[in-house]
Chain A
Amino acid sequence: MKKVLSFFLVLLMLTSVVSVQFYAAEGENTVNITEDGNYTLDENDYDAVTIDGVSGKITLEDAGVFSVGRSAILVKGGSNVTFVLKGHTTIEADANAYSCGIEVEYGSSVTFEGEGTLNVTGGKWGAAIGSYGTDTNIPENERVKVGEITINSGNINAFAGRRGAGIGAGYHVNGNIVTINGGVIHAYGNECGAGIGCGYGTSGGAIGTAAVGEYDSGKIVINGGEVYAATAWNQSFDISDLAALNASDPGSFAAGIGGGYGASASDIEINGGTIIAIGSCGGAGIGGGRGTSKTAQYNKDAYKVNIKITGNSNVTAITADNRAKEINSGGAAIGSGRGTHTGGTIKITGNAKVTAISATQAPAIGASKQKSPVDGAIPVAELIEIGDGVELFAVSAGAYAVDKDAASFSINDNYFGSSDRYFFGEDAVAITGTENIKAESTKSEKDGYTVPAGTVSLWANIKKAEIKDDENEGGSQGAGINKGNLKIIAPLAMALRFENGGVFYSGDEAEVDYDKEYCFQMCSVDWSTRDTNGEKKIHKPYETFYPNDTAWNHSSHGVYEDETKGLRGTVVYRFEVSTTAKRPSFDEAERKFIVPARNAVLRTDVNKCFMAYRFKFSKGDYNKQTGIDKVVYDTGKEHVNTLEDFRYNKPLESLSVNLPLGSTVSANAYKNYEKIGDADVFIEIDSEHTDRCYTDWFWPY
C-alpha cells in the first residue's frame, strides 16, 4: 500500500511536468518519468509509461501495462534505465498501433535484471522489446531506430507484434545492440521477424523499397543464460519440443537469431549460455533471413552473415519448414537464408557444443543451396572454421551437413571420438522428405499463453519414421503409470551396462520403473564385429541414428560383452525417469541424469561420461595407426581396409576412440601397419581441461 501511495505521488508530480506525447492516447493511469531515480511499478494496471531522459532503476513488480494507440512503455531521450523484475509483470502494446511492448528509442538503453517474470508483447510492426517499424520511403533522419538492450537476469517472454522481432528491431529497422548475459529468455518473432535481431527487412520490392540485405540485425552478443529464440507466425514455444510452428500458417521466413525476412546478420557473437534458435521457411536458425531469387531485388554488397560461436556455449540451431513443398530450398541452421549469394563467415571455436539441424535440403552449417540471385551459382560460405575443442552435431535433410565447399574450410576431427552426433560427407544425404520429421500435437501451455489451434511441434530429434510404436508413444506420459520405455542415446561406439548386466546400445529402449534410481556404467564396444551376413563391418558415425534400420542391427554398433569384447569403466552413473521433471538435467555432483517421463530419452553424450582419446604421433607420420586391445582391431593389414572405410579412405594419422573412465587400455602403435610399440593407458579426465571430453595422447614415434 505504501508503495502504491508513493508511486501515485510520484505520478502526480511527474505528469505535471512531462508534455503529452503527440501520438499517445493517454489514459487515466499513465506514468511519465522524467527525473533520475528509482521507481516501482507495482501491482496496478497502467495505461502507458514514458521514461524520458532518465537514469535509474524501474522495478516492475507484478505490474500490468496495457496500452492503446502507443507503446506500453516508451524509453526515450537518452535514458539509461534498468528494469528490475519482481513477481510477474505483463506488458502489452496495442496490436493495431505501430508500437512495442517496451520501446527503446535510439540513443537510450535498457537493462533487465532480477528474478521475476516479464511477459511482453509488441504491437503492429513492433518488437516486444525494441522498436516498431519504419520505411525507407521516410527521410533517413526521421526513420525509427532502436536503442540498446541488455539482459542480465530474469525470466523474459517476449512476443513480437506483426513483422517485429521478439527482441530487437521492428519492421524495416536495423538492429542496434542486444546483449544477453543471463536469465531465461524466450523470444518470438512474428510474421517475418526474427526471434532476436530485426524484424521484416524486405522481400525485395514487394513490400518496401530496400533490396535484400540492406537491413541488418545489428550486433547480437550472448554471453550466458538460457535463450530460446524462434520465428513463427502466431507462434508458441514449448521448451521440451524445441519448436512449434503453426500448421495452418505459411511460416515466418526469418532467422531464430539474426535477420528477419530479407535481412542480413552481420554480427552475431555467442560466447556462452544455452541457446536454442529456430528459423523457418528459408530463414536460418542463426544467421540471415530468407532472401530472394530476383537479381534486381538483391544487394550483394549489403547481404552479410558473420557468426562467431565460442566459449562453453551450448547452441542448438534449427532451420525448419513445415510446408513440404519447400523442403528443398530452406536456409541453413547456422549460416545464410534461402535466396542469398553467400553463407558468410562462420567460426565455431572454444569448447562450444553445437547442434545444427537443417530439416530442409540446405546444409546445417553454411550457405543455403538455392541458386544465387547474383549469378545463378550455388552459393557457398566464405569461411567455415570448426575448432578443435568444439563438439559438433550437424545434420541435414538433404545436403552436406557442413558445407565442405566453403571458400575457406577447416574442421576438427572430433566427430569420431567426441560425439556420435556428426554427419559429414555424402552419406549425410540420408534423411529425405518431411516424413522423417516427427510431428505431433503440442500438449502444453506456458505461462498462460494458450497454444494456437492447429499448432504442431517440430522435433529437433530427427529420426527415421516409425522408430517408436504406438504403444511406446503413449507409455511415457501421465500420472498413475509406473513404468515406461526409456530410449538410450550413447556416444559413438559405446554402450551402457546396467546394474543387472544388461547392455544397451544407442537407440535401444529399456523398460524402466518411473521415479526409481538406476545405476549404470559406460562401456566401449569392440568395433570389429560381424553383421548377420557374416561380413565384417565397422559402424559408421551416423549409424547410431538408425537403430532400427534392418541393414544395421545392434551388431553393427559393435558389441560389448563382459570379459571378451570391449571395455567397461569404473565410474558410477545414475538415471531416473521422473514423472515430475519438466526437462532433462544432469547432476554432476552425483553423476545423475534426470529424464522427464514425457520424453524419456537418456542422452549420455555429455562431458565426463567418457573420454575421447586421440592417439597422435609426435613425429607426424601420416602412415601410422593405433590399435586397442578388445576395442579396435590391431592385428595388422587384414583390417586396414575396414579402418579406411571408416574414415572415408583417408589415411590415419591419429585415431580417436571413445573410452570409459577408469578403464585401462592396452594400445599398440603401428607404422605402415607393422607394430612398433605398445603402452597401457589409464583413462581419466584431463586434469588440465576438466570441461573437455577428449584427451590427446602422444606416441613418441
Chain B
Amino acid sequence: MKLKICSLFLAVVFIFSLCSCMGVDPNVKQKETKSAEKYQVETEGDNSQTELEGFHAYGDGFTSPLSVKGVKVDVEYYALRGYELSFMMAQTDFKSVKGISLDALTQYVFCHVYFENLFEITNKMTDYRQATLKQLNSVLKKHFGETKVDFKKSQLYNKAKKKFEMWVPEYGTNVYYRIDAADANGSKVKIITTFFKELKKTTKLGRTTITVEVKKGKPIISSLATG
C-alpha cells in the first residue's frame, strides 16, 4: 500500500514536472482534439533563434502552410502582410480593399512591385523608383484579387509624366512574431499573429488577425483587424 501510494505520488510529481518542463499549466484545460483540427493551437515558441545581419522575420508558432480547397495558403507569408499593412501602412482595420486608404494602398502595392518583403528594405534601397499602372494592378490582384482601384488619384501618381513614382520608404526592420492560430473555415483562413518588439518576444507590439480567402483558386487578403 505504501509502495502504491509512493508510486502514485512519484507519478504525480513526474507529471507536474513534465508539464512544467513543457510550459503547460496543468490547471488550464487544453483545447480538445476536435477543436485543434480546425483551430490549431500553438505550443510555446522556440526562442533559440539568433539575430542575423540585415532585416529578417523571426517567427514561430503555427507557421506551416494550410491547404484550403486544395490550395496552399502560406500562413507565414500572410501573417507578415498583416504586419506590413497594420504597422507600416497604419491600416489597422479593413473589411475589404476598399477600406484601405488609397495612398497607403498604392504605396503598399508599389513597394511590392519591387520587394517581396517590405521589412527587408534596407536604407540602401530607398531610392527613386517608377512603376506603371499595369505593375500596380498586377500586385493588387495578387494580394487582394482586385483590380478596380483608381490608383491615379493617389499622391504617388505623376499626372504629367503619366507614371507612378516614389521614394522607397525606410521600412527595414526585424519582425518578431508568433502565429498564435490559423482558423480554416470554408474558403477562409483566419491567421492570428502576435508581434513583439524583440527576439525574446516578451514585449508585445500588437496583434493582428488577417483573413485570407481562396478565390478562383488563389489566396487573397480579405480583411484585417488589429487588437
Query: Are B104 and A684 in touch, CB under 8 angstroms?
Result: yes
Contact for A685 among B128, B155, B168, B169, CB less than 8 A: B155
Which residues of B are found within 8 Å of A568, using beta-carbon distances?
126, 167, 169-170
Query: Are B91 and A663 in touch, CB under 8 angstroms?
Result: no
Which residues of B are found within 8 Å of A591, using beta-carbon distances?
158
In the complex, which of the residues B86, B102, B165, B167 has the most CB atoms of chain A within 10 Å of its own CB atom? Answer: B167
Query: Are A563 and B123 in touch, CB under 8 angstroms?
Result: yes
Complex Cα distance, B123 from A591, in Å, reads 25
Complex Cα distance, B190 from A442, in Å, reads 71
Which chain A residue lies CB-closest to B170? A563
Which residues of B are found within 8 Å of A608, using beta-carbon distances?
155
Query: Are A662 and B161 in touch, CB under 8 angstroms?
Result: no
Query: Are A680 and B103 in touch, CB under 8 angstroms?
Result: no
Query: Are A682 and B91 in touch, CB under 8 angstroms?
Result: yes
Does A80 lie at the interface of the complex (its beta carbon under 8 Å from any beta carbon of B)? no
Does B92 lie at the interface of the complex (its beta carbon under 8 Å from any beta carbon of A)? yes
Nearest Cβ distance between residue B92 and chain A, in whole angstroms?
7
Which residues of A are found within 8 Å of B90, using beta-carbon distances?
664, 679-682
In the complex, which of the residues A499, A569, A680, A685 has the most CB atoms of chain B within 10 Å of its own CB atom? Answer: A680
Does B159 lie at the interface of the complex (its beta carbon under 8 Å from any beta carbon of A)? yes
Nearest Cβ distance between residue B106 and chain A, in whole angstroms?
9
Which residues of A are found within 8 Å of B160, using beta-carbon distances?
587, 589-590, 592
Contact A570/B166 with A562-B123, A563-B123, A684-B104 known, Cβ cut-off 8 Å = yes
Does A571 lie at the interface of the complex (its beta carbon under 8 Å from any beta carbon of B)? yes
Which chain B residue lies CB-closest to A587? B160
Does A661 lie at the interface of the complex (its beta carbon under 8 Å from any beta carbon of B)? yes
Which 7 A-B pairs give the minimum distances between C-beta atoms? A590-B160, A589-B159, A680-B90, A682-B90, A684-B103, A589-B160, A521-B167
Does B94 lie at the interface of the complex (its beta carbon under 8 Å from any beta carbon of A)? no
Contact for B103 among A521, A562, A682, CB less than 8 A: A682
Does B101 lie at the interface of the complex (its beta carbon under 8 Å from any beta carbon of A)? yes
Complex Cα distance, B168 from A572, in Å, reads 10
Which residues of B are found within 8 Å of A590, using beta-carbon distances?
158-161
Which residues of B are found within 8 Å of A521, using beta-carbon distances?
167
Q: What per-residue 1/0 map shows which CB atoms of B120-159 lie under 8 Å from chain A?
A: 0001001010000000000000000000000000011011
Which residues of B are found within 8 Å of A681, using beta-carbon distances?
90
Q: What per-residue 1/0 map shows which CB atoms of A587-626 lie under 8 Å from chain B?
A: 1011110000000000000001000000000000000000
Q: What per-residue 1/0 map shows which CB atoms of B77-111 lie under 8 Å from chain A?
A: 00000000011111110000000011110010000
Query: Are B158 and A572 in touch, CB under 8 angstroms?
Result: yes
Complex Cα distance, B101 from A685, in Å, reads 10
Nearest Cβ distance between residue B125 and chain A, in whole angstroms?
12
Contact for A571 among B92, B126, B155, B159, CB less than 8 A: B155
Query: Are A664 and B89 in touch, CB under 8 angstroms?
Result: yes
Which chain A residue lies CB-closest to B169? A570
Does A519 lie at the interface of the complex (its beta carbon under 8 Å from any beta carbon of B)? yes
Which residues of A are found within 8 Å of B87, using beta-carbon distances?
664, 680
Query: Are B128 and A570 in touch, CB under 8 angstroms?
Result: no
Which residues of A are found within 8 Å of B101, using beta-carbon distances?
682, 684
Complex Cα distance, B110 from A572, in Å, reads 14
Q: What per-residue 1/0 map shows which CB atoms of A675-689 lie under 8 Å from chain B?
A: 000011110110100
Nearest Cβ distance between residue A60 and chain B, in whole angstroms?
37
Question: 7 interchain pairs (CB within 8 A)?
Answer: A499-B128, A570-B156, A571-B156, A572-B158, A589-B160, A662-B155, A680-B90
Query: Are B165 and A662 in touch, CB under 8 angstroms?
Result: no
Which residues of A are found within 8 Å of B103, using beta-carbon distances?
661-662, 682, 684-685
Nearest Cβ distance between residue A96 and chain B, in whole angstroms?
54
Nearest Cβ distance between residue A635 and chain B, in whole angstroms?
16
Contact for B167 among A563, A569, A679, A680, CB less than 8 A: A569
Complex Cα distance, B107 from A662, in Å, reads 8
Query: Are B168 and A570 in touch, CB under 8 angstroms?
Result: yes
Which residues of A are found within 8 Å of B89, using beta-carbon distances?
664, 682
Which residues of B are found within 8 Å of A572, using beta-carbon distances?
128, 156, 158, 165-167
Which chain B residue lies CB-closest to A660? B167
Query: Are B123 and A570 in touch, CB under 8 angstroms?
Result: no
Which chain A residue lies CB-closest to B91? A682
Nearest Cβ distance between residue B55 and chain A, in whole angstroms?
12
Which residues of A are found within 8 Å of B107, using beta-carbon distances?
570, 662
Complex Cα distance, B166 from A661, in Å, reads 11
Which residues of A are found within 8 Å of B91, using beta-carbon distances?
682
Which residues of A are found within 8 Å of B86, using beta-carbon distances?
680
Query: Are A519 and B166 in touch, CB under 8 angstroms?
Result: no
Which chain A residue lies CB-closest to B86? A680
Complex Cα distance, B167 from A499, in Å, reads 9
Could you list 7 further interchain pairs (A-B, Cβ under 8 angstroms) beyond the known A572-B128, A680-B86, A684-B155?
A572-B167, A589-B160, A662-B103, A664-B87, A679-B90, A682-B104, A684-B103
Complex Cα distance, B146 from A148, in Å, reads 59
Contact A680/B156 with A499-B128, A572-B165 known, Cβ cut-off 8 Å = no
Nearest Cβ distance between residue B119 and chain A, in whole angstroms?
13
Nearest Cβ distance between residue B161 and chain A, in whole angstroms?
7
Which residues of A are found within 8 Å of B165, using beta-carbon distances?
572
Which residues of B are found within 8 Å of A592, using beta-carbon distances?
160
Which residues of B are found within 8 Å of A589, using beta-carbon distances?
158-160
Complex Cα distance, B128 from A521, in Å, reads 10
Contact A562/B170 with A570-B107, A680-B92 known, Cβ cut-off 8 Å = yes
Nearest Cβ distance between residue A176 and chain B, in whole angstroms?
44
Which chain B residue lies CB-closest to A573? B167
Which residues of B are found within 8 Å of A519, using beta-carbon distances?
128
Nearest Cβ distance between residue B155 and chain A, in whole angstroms?
5
Nearest Cβ distance between residue B93 and chain A, in whole angstroms?
12
Which chain B residue lies CB-closest to A563? B123
Query: Are A664 and B158 in touch, CB under 8 angstroms?
Result: no
Nearest Cβ distance between residue A397 and chain B, in whole angstroms?
39
Q: What per-residue 1/0 map shows which CB atoms of B191-202 lie under 8 Å from chain A?
A: 000000000000
Query: Are A662 and B128 in touch, CB under 8 angstroms?
Result: no
Which residues of B are found within 8 Å of A562, using beta-carbon distances?
123, 126, 170
Which residues of A are found within 8 Å of B170, using beta-carbon distances?
562-563, 568
Complex Cα distance, B107 from A569, in Å, reads 11
Complex Cα distance, B161 from A590, in Å, reads 7
Which chain B residue lies CB-closest to A608? B155
Q: What per-residue 1/0 map shows which CB atoms of A306-339 lie under 8 Å from chain B?
A: 0000000000000000000000000000000000
Which chain B residue lies CB-closest to A663? B169
Which chain A residue lies CB-closest to B108? A682
Nearest Cβ distance between residue B89 and chain A, in whole angstroms?
6
Which residues of A are found within 8 Å of B155, using beta-carbon distances?
571, 608, 661-662, 684-685
Complex Cα distance, B36 from A560, in Å, reads 50
State which residues 270-329 of A face B: CB under 8 Å: none
Query: Are B167 and A570 in touch, CB under 8 angstroms?
Result: yes
